[in-house]
Structure 1
Amino acid sequence: MKSLQDALYNWLTIKIVSDARPDDTAAVETEQMFYEILTEEHALADIEITKDEIMYYVSYKIDGESKSSRFPQELIDVMLNQINNEPEKYHNYPSE
């Protein structure tokens, strides 16, 4: 994934889902995949998430320099909200 911003967005969106649904193996595995993209392809370290009433903030270090990105909550929470609104469409299939 070329864009750091896209990788952060994808990781944060699925991270919120996997944190809310720790038994959802697909969400957990997808979050791990995007986390590896952040740490291996983009060389991020010390990744932390905070939020307020409007935004999610992702802080991290890259090449020892502290940086951050922010994302509107409504943009990040859309996947979790959709799952919660239509749970019958999002079954968890256990790994074998």
Structure 2
Amino acid sequence: MRFEDALFNWLQIQIVADGRADDNAAAETRDFFLQILMEDHGVTSIAIKKVDDTMIHVKYEREGRTKTQFIPREAGEQLLADIASNPKYNGQ
């Protein structure tokens, strides 16, 4: 899996896991993408550092260098919005 894809997938499922604290599947999926980032791409730390009106700032360390990736907020939050709008997953 490409680094950019793994980072984006981690971000989306991290947002879901944060928004749905009791969702064990989301937490497990987040950990899966974190493992890919660490083992396949050498990421040693990663976190959402800031969310503004238009962007999510993801800070990570890779190959001894700290970097920040900017991801459009709407795209990053889309999976959580999709889950929330589906009665099958939100108990409606």
- Same-fold call, TM cutoff 0.5: yes
**Distance in 2, Cα, partners of 1:20 & 1:12:** 12
- Give the TM-score, by structure 2 length: 0.89
* Alignment deviations for residues 31-86 of structure 1 (CA, whole Å, 9 cap, x no partner): 01001111111111221212111101111111111112111111011111112122
Work out the number of aligned pairs and report it: 90
Could you list the runs of 4 or more consecutive aligned residues of structure 1 that deviate by over 6 angstroms after TM superposition?
A: none
Q: Secondary structure at the match of 1:56?
A: strand
The one-letter amino acid of 2:72's match is: P
Residue segments in structure 2 that go unaligned for 5+ positions in a row: none
RMSD: 1.5
The equivalences for 1:48-63 within 5 A come to 48-49=47-48, 50-63=50-63
2:14 is matched with 15
1:37 is matched with 36
**Distance in 1, Cα, partners of 2:42 & 2:27:** 21
Aligned-residue sequence identity (percent) comes to: 41
**Distance in 2, Cα, partners of 1:22 & 1:14:** 12
Q: CA deviation at 1:91?
A: 6.0
* Alignment deviations for residues 8-53 of structure 1 (CA, whole Å, 9 cap, x no partner): 0000000000111111111111001001111111111221212111
**Distance in 2, Cα, partners of 1:54 & 1:78:** 13
The one-letter amino acid of 2:28's match is: E
